[in-house]
């Protein structure tokens, strides 16, 4: 059983989580292209994950995850952000959330510890899907772009 209280706490602190992650992405040497993305763009994406975590985790269908992260991949490809940076940013988003859950320390019983572990499992599963759909769409964009440039050079 997932802790509704824990999910609600994360959603209630979405802005704080978002600000911390953005500061990290915009200063991390592994994400130099993110240093040039606007705060608003990064805030929109990150905040929507944290603020709607319960919604994301409760989806029985992968279609909303696929649609959202396909869009993300297309945007980052168009912005010239390398795929490895996009994947690192997604992993950072997940790890930032894990760190927050560990730091709040609300686990007073074995049941609550089990609920935290279940949340971590569900969050990990969500981000695995997000990374998969992001990589798939990014690679599709890259292949499509390469095919277009090859056609132009042969004409």
Per-residue pLDDT tens digits for 89-119: 999 999 999 999 888 765 567 777 777 888 8
Residue span of the structural domain in which 115 resides: 4-154
CATH number at 38 reads: 1.10.490.10
d(CA 28, CA 91): 13
- Tell me which of 145 and 21 has the higher pLDDT: 21
Give residue-wise pLDDT tens across range 27-83: 999 999 999 999 998 999 899 999 999 999 888 899 999 999 999 999 999 999 999
Number of domains in the chain: 1
Give residue-wise pLDDT tens across range 125-137: 999 999 999 999 9
Tokens representing 104 are 């709040």
Question: Which pLDDT score is estimated for 15?
Answer: 96
């Amino acid at each position: 059983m997932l802790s509704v209280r824990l999910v609600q706490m994360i959603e209630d602190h979405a802005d704080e989580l978002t600000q911390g992650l953005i500061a990290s992405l915009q200063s991390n040497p592994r994400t130099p292209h993110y240093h040039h993305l606007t705060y608003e763009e990064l805030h929109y994406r990150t905040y929507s994950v944290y603020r709607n975590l319960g919604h994301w985790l409760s989806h029985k269908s992968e279609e909303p995850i696929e649609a959202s992260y396909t869009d993300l991949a297309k945007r980052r490809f168009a912005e010239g952000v390398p795929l490895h940076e996009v994947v690192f940013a997604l992993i950072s988003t997940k790890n930032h959330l894990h760190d927050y859950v560990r730091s709040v320390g609300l686990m007073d019983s074995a049941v609550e510890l089990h609920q935290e572990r279940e949340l971590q499992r569900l969050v990990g599963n969500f981000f695995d899907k997000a990374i998969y759909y992001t990589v798939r769409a990014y690679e599709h964009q890259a292949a499509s772009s390469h095919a277009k440039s090859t056609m132009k050079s042969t004409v």
